[in-house]
Amino acid sequence: MAVLWFVLLGGLLTFFFGVFVWVFIQHLLTIEIPSGLKHPVKLRILHFTFQYLVTLGTILEKMRICSIPTILQFSQKLIFIKKDPNVLVTDMHFGTVPVRLFKPKEVSSKLRRGIIFYHGGGAIFGNLDVYHGLGSVLAHETDSVVLLVGYRKLPNFHYPVIHLDCLNASIHFLKNLETYGVDPSRVVISGESVGGCTVATVTQALISQGTLPQIRAQVLITPILQGTNFQLPSHQQNQNVPMITRDVIITFLCRYLSIDLAWKNAMLTGACVPLDIWKKYSKWISSGNIPQRFKGKNFHSEFLGPFNEAAYLETKHILDANVSPLLADDKIIAQLPDTFLVSCEYDPLRDDVLLYKKRLEDQGVPVGWYHAEDGFHGCISLFDKPLFSFPCSMNILNAVISYIKGV
């Protein structure tokens, strides 16, 4: 029996080591570290660890043992939560949605600003614990009541659950602001990555909710805002840059939208978009709207592949404004509140921010913008991780704090 256990253990170690070697070789061959990114060794370690977990999850998924989301979510259990003695933290549920409320302990003679925050993680990972530090810092530094929303994710929950969970949690909060000591005239909705996309969709949806307090401002940090054009300059320039590659973005998007991964190439080349629809939306999402300084020397304009009707029928819900808020009608965009946008130079999603910025400005919406020249996707979530924090992490956080304090 002991021999059997020894053989089993040896087999497992060999398997994990084999995956390690495979990912390490892939990492060296495909990953690109631009000279503008600081602390490249730390970044390589982070990216390698992420890719190792994704690859391990892919293999175990094909073996029908567990899924990629399960592996990534299990790794989050290693997160250590640092408590701030100046902030009172309360866990609760709004219906089926877990939320975490952060409130400064110091007594205030007046109602405080409210911040609703949706975390990132590609609909696969990220949770209340991973973003606990961010919620705590926002509450303390801006003297605000912060609601961190822990929406449901893959593998058990798909589109449109993130939008609905965040919308319903936000409506519940907005209906009870004074209960939480929040000034109804100073509510900010903020989020990062897929959470930034959800900020856009929820804020757009709340426009029709006339009985609720109006949102004072929205803050979108490195959001994904459309799934129609994956040939923008930032997608071309940063397709293999840490922490998240273009392939990972499309893969996570397909999983959340329940799109077969066989259609990834059609999405990449635009073959799933009918020409008439492309002409309708290209005025908002084409590379022609990107400032020249972001295009670089080797940029190639969009070239749509031959239209594939089957691909269109399987992927057409990408055109829904609740998936691609960049495609919302002008009359909706024009009613949006003051907006603060954060983009990172080395992020495949950089140009989504630039396109949304132009749309908002064209409709007269006041827009603030911070661009991290040395930033990469997801860096703000690392600000409180001592071994893996980057200068851009704190710079973005400080920019967000500064904007919110001015609201």
The string of pLDDT tens digits covering residues 227-268 is 999 999 999 999 998 888 899 999 999 999 999 999 999 999
* Cβ-based neighbour number of residue 67 at 10 Å: 18
Q: Is 386 exposed, middle or buried (0-12, 13-18, 19+ CB in 10 A)?
A: exposed
pLDDT value of position 202: 98
Closest CA to 180 of 135, 147, 209, 142: 147
Are residues 383 and 393 in contact, defined by beta-carbon separation less than 8 angstroms? yes
The neighbouring-strand residues paired with 101 are 90, 147
The band of 115, judged by pLDDT with boundaries at 50, 70 and 90, is very high
Annotation says 377 is catalytic: yes
Q: Spot the catalytic one: 338, 347, 351, 384.
A: 347
Q: Is 347 a catalytic residue?
A: yes
Q: Determine phi and psi for 216, rounding to 5 degrees.
A: -75, -40
Specify the CATH number for 84-226+322-405; select among 3.40.50.150, 1.25.10.10, 3.40.50.1820, 2.40.10.10. 3.40.50.1820
Report, in angstroms and rounded to the nearest whole number, the Rg of the chain calculated over CA atoms: 21
Contact 262, 391 (CB under 8 A): no
User: Which of 13-17, 190-194, 299-303 has the largest mean confidence?
Assistant: 190-194
- Whether pLDDT at 402 is above 90: yes
Q: What is the DSSP letter of 336?
A: -
pLDDT tens-digit readout, 342-371: 999 999 999 999 999 999 999 999 999 999
Please write the tens of the pLDDT for every residue from 276-291: 999 999 999 999 999 9
Rounded CA gap, 326 and 228, in Å?
A: 10
Residues 6+ apart with CB under 8 A from 360: 333, 336, 339, 367
Task: Please provide the DSSP assignment of 149-187 as one string.
Answer: E----TTT--TTHHHHHHHHHHHHHHHTGGGGTEEEEEE
* Active-site entry in 190, 193, 234, 324: 193
pLDDT band at 63, cuts 50/70/90? confident
| Phi, psi angle pair for 21, to nearest 5° | -65, -45
Whether the per-residue pLDDT at 28 is higher than 70: the answer is no
The helix (H) or strand (E) run that includes residue 104 is strand 97-104
Comparing CA positions, the residue from 370, 111, 335, 98 lying closest to residue 215 is: 335
pLDDT in tens, 198-215: 999 999 999 988 889 999
Q: What pLDDT is stored for residue 18 in this prediction?
A: 79
Ranges of H-type helices in 317-367: 330-333, 350-362
Q: Which of 47, 119, 163, 377 is catalytic?
A: 377
Short-list 211, 208, 212, CA closest to 116: 212
